[in-house]
Amino acid sequence: MKIKVALVTGAAMGYKKGGPSIGGSIAIQLAKDGFKVVVVDVLKMREKTVEIIKKNGGEAISVRANVTKKKDILTALNIAKEKFGGLTCLVNCVARYSAGMANNVVKTSEDEWNKTLDVNLGGYYRCAKYAIPLILKSGGGTTINISSPKGIRVIRNFAVYAVSKAAIEALTKTLAIDFAPKIRTNCVSPDFVRIENSERGRSKEELENWYKEIARDYPMGRVCETQEVANVVSFLASDKASYINGETIYVDSGKTHSDRHNF
């Protein structure tokens, strides 16, 4: 029987209270699907993710790893091999956010540009580069990259973020073609998602009003929950998606296709 082992980067729960996060929800869902999960993050709340998985009866291990460091990635992969027997699913979810990213190309410092791309794109490249040989050795599997519609529908003065996300979709396509049929690679692209790390100390009432305001821009009339992203990843990682390769699924209630003009 083929093993089911997943490595998920950016898989810590919310960094203050252990609240919802995209990577955490993905790791928890994959564990429910029968995967043994290597939970990777630099944040200590990765241990909260493992705690939840084990509480639900799953198997997981926490690994502190920085995706800009080859040594850290190889350590995480060696743990997947030694503890769980290999790897059959890689989920690249880690992302870098900083105040310095909120600028156009002219105003974005070279340091900010390089640091952001080193995580948001370089981290995906490195994890794929070193994980794919292990996935092939394990009999094949899937790679799933988490991106954002902001790569094709950009926000003013948010240049490097948009560039990094657009590049992830291109990376997805090259991996899908280069490593099929042994490995399927797809991209999941959620827009705004309710996560703890975006709350920034807002009160319960402030959060409720904030989410209502954001929801007005989405055809479904509400904001996305982390589980809704995890459900799509779960599908793509399963045999139910056995002929889906090189695709990007936008989890944004149709906003990418919506023209908000009134006539």
Contact 252, 193 (CB under 8 A): no
Q: What global pTM score does this model have?
A: 0.95
Question: In sequence order, what are the residues at sequence separation of 6 or more whose Cβ sits closer than 8 angstroms to the Cβ of residue 15?
Answer: 43, 45, 196, 197
How high is the pLDDT of residue 16? Answer: 86
Could you give the C-alpha distances from 150 to 113, 135, 141, 157, 192, in angstroms and in order? Answer: 16, 30, 28, 12, 10
CA 6 to chain centre: 13
Selecting among 97, 125, 130, 161, the annotated active-site residue is 161
Give CATH for domain 5-197+224-255.
Answer: 3.40.50.720
How high is the pLDDT of residue 1? Answer: 64
Amino acid at 75: T
Longest dimension (CA), the chain: 61
How many angstroms separate the CA atoms of 43 and 63, rounded? 10
- From first to last of its 263 residues, the chain has per-residue pLDDT tens of 689 999 999 999 998 889 999 999 999 999 999 999 999 999 999 999 999 999 999 999 999 999 999 999 999 999 999 999 999 999 999 999 888 889 999 999 999 999 999 999 999 999 999 999 999 999 999 999 999 998 888 889 999 999 999 999 999 999 999 999 999 999 999 999 999 888 877 888 898 898 899 999 899 999 999 999 999 999 999 999 999 999 999 999 999 888 766 66
Instruction: Label the pairing between strands 224-225 and 193-194.
Output: parallel
Say whether 125 is catalytic. Answer: no
How many angstroms separate the CA atoms of 46 and 141, rounded? 24
Q: What is the DSSP letter of 193?
A: E
Could you give the C-alpha distances from 249 to 112, 116, 174, 212, 229, in angstroms and in order? Answer: 29, 23, 16, 24, 10
How high is the pLDDT of residue 262? Answer: 66
